[in-house]
Amino acid sequence: MSRPAHDRADQPGIRLNINGQSVDAHEGMTLVEAAWQAGVPGITNVGCMEGVCGSCRVMMRRDRQVTVGLACQTFVENGLDVIFLPAASASRHFYDIADFKDSWDIHARFHGIFPEASRCRHCHGCVQSCPKDIKVEDGVALAASGRYREAGEIFFECVMCELCDVACPELIAPAHVGLFCRRVTAHFHLRPPNLISRIEELRKKREEADGNDKGEE
């Protein structure tokens, strides 16, 4: 049985850098906890602290190797250099899903909205940057070939940290491609009979009630 990581006092001390500040921490602490304990200013890009909101994006350097990740899911290491990244800049890909009336032209629409998606140069930057180990590149390829349902499934665990958007040299915005695929799949193909019947039943009831009201007037 492994020993639980609970008692910090007798854990070995660890020294690392966060936003340029030298920080002392204990084994088992996350980067968020270490930054707070040391009073590193301005650590406000933090949300759920369980890895589902994608807010606490960090860039890390170990010797000459540079990686990205989520600070609430990464534990302190000796000599680690950490920079908390600002939130992603606004998306450059605009669409209103309410404008999508006809699913037959969706392929043309997709390439109109995301013209870069077919220009993937397979650099794997998106895959390496993903803290959720999503096969981002495969998802983008499926989307570009019009297989939106399958592509969306690949992005199921996406937490919208948008680190893949930053990593992409072609500005494909893979996270938003993934979400587009998931959204059009629901928008066009989710037509559950049990829900539709109940909605219709309630509509009829309202109609009857309105009719009765008018009769009494």
Partner 1 sequence: MNKGIPLQEALAAYRPDSDPGQVSPMTDADSLLSEFHPDHLRGSVVKLSVGVNSGDSCQRDLASLLQTEAFIDEADLAGVPVIDADVLVIGGGGAGCAAALMAAEQGAKVLLATKLRLGDSNTVMAEGGIQAAIEPDDSIQKHIQDTLRGGHHAGNPSLVASMAEDGPDVLRWLINLGMQFELTPSGDLQTRRAGGMSASRLVYCRDYTGLEMMRVLREAVFQHRSIEVWEQSPAVELLSNEFGLKCAGAVLMSLADGQKRIVRTRSVILATGGLGRLHLNGFPTSNHLGATGDGLVLAYRIGAKLTELDSFQYHPTGLVYPSHLSGKLVTEGVRAAGALLINGKGQRFVDELQPRDIVCASILRECQEGRGIRIDDERKGVWLDTPRLENSQPGLLERQFPNLMSRTRGSGLDPRTQPLLVHPTLHYQNGGVIINSKGATTVPGLFAIGEAAGGIHGRNRIMGNALLEIICFGRRAGIAAAAAAKRDRGPKKVTLEHINQLRRALTLAGMPLSRRAPEILPSYARGGLWSR
How many chain residues touch partner 1 (CB under 8 A)?
A: 65
- 146, 161, 131: which is closest to 46 by C-alpha? 161
What is the bridge-based pairing of β-strands 81-84 and 21-26?
unpaired
- 41, 17, 20, 42: which is closest to 31 by C-alpha? 17
**Closer residue to partner 1 in complex, CB, 76/123:** 76
**Closer residue to partner 1 in complex, CB, 121/205:** 205
Q: Between vectors from CA 66 to CA 60 and to CA 71, what angle results, nearest 5°?
A: 25
**Closer residue to partner 1 in complex, CB, 29/120:** 29
Confirm or reject binding of residue 173 to partner 1 (CB under 8 A).
Answer: no
Question: Contact letters (x/-) for partner 1, 26-55, by CB under 8 A?
Answer: --xxx-xx--x--xxxxxxxxxxxxxxx-x
Confirm or reject binding of residue 23 to partner 1 (CB under 8 A).
Answer: no
CA distance 36 to 133: 27
Q: Which of residues 151-170 bind partner 1 (CB under 8 A)?
A: 152, 156-160
Question: In 95-192, where does DSSP find H-type helix?
Answer: 106-113, 125-129, 136-144, 148-154, 163-167, 174-189
- Interface with partner 1 (CB under 8 A): 1-8, 28-30, 32-33, 36, 39-53, 55, 72-73, 75, 87, 90-91, 94-98, 152, 156-160, 176, 179, 182-187, 190-195, 197-199, 202
